[in-house]
Amino acid sequence: MTTARLILAIVSTLAVEAALFTVWRWVLPEWGIEIPLAALIVVMVAYAIFAVVDFWFVTLILRRQAIVGLSTMIGSKGKVTTPLDPEGLIMIKGELWGAKSIDRNIGSGEMVMVVGQDSLKLIVRKAGASNLKGTEDRPTH
């Protein structure tokens, strides 16, 4: 897949440079604009360098694995913002999430821990020593 992207990047860079040359050679003289060949070469080299750096940067970004989403929330602690009876909203890492409580009613301001997910809702229970069962050492952020 990276080879295909590399070929596409090379072809698109050559197409842009061919367009620059065409504009320099035929369009600008029609309008009475004369730009030295050295300036055209500098612009083409600068664009080629930009294209290489852009290709490298985008390839690095595309290779990274996403470390976000519902599955990464399990074990996180959060604060209830609207009472969970059994559903409501919680705040985790500065984000509001829809949540469903296993422990039924949990009031606003109480701390909860994510124990699972159901579609786009987090399944939570009160964060307390008796409910965590050995997970109290997990980081919250």
Per-residue pLDDT tens listing for the chain (141 residues): 578 888 888 899 899 999 999 999 999 999 999 999 999 999 999 999 999 999 989 888 888 876 666 667 888 899 999 999 889 999 998 889 999 998 778 999 999 999 988 888 899 999 874 554 444 444 444
Q: What is the pLDDT of residue 41?
A: 93
Q: What is the pLDDT of residue 66?
A: 66
Instruction: Give how many domains the chain has, as a whole number.
Output: 2
Q: Are strands 121-126 and 95-101 parallel, antiparallel or unpaired?
A: parallel
pTM above 0.95, yes or no: no
Assess whether 53 and 74 both reside in one domain: no
Q: What is the pLDDT of residue 32?
A: 93
Assess whether 89 and 56 both reside in one domain: no
Q: Map residue 128 onto helix, strand or coil.
A: coil
Would residue 20 count as lying in a domain?
yes
Domain edge (last residue) among 31, 46, 63:
63
Would residue 133 count as lying in a domain?
no
Contact, 55 vs 64, CB < 8 A?
A: no
Assess whether 82 and 55 both reside in one domain: no
CA distances from 8 to 2, 11, 44, 99, 101 (A): 10, 5, 18, 45, 50
Q: What is the pLDDT of residue 104?
A: 77
Nearest to 117 by CA among 104, 98, 134, 91: 98
Residue 44 structural domain: 2-63
Assess whether 6 and 57 both reside in one domain: yes
Would residue 139 count as lying in a domain?
no
Would residue 51 count as lying in a domain?
yes
Would residue 33 count as lying in a domain?
yes
Q: What is the pLDDT of residue 62?
A: 83
Would residue 36 count as lying in a domain?
yes
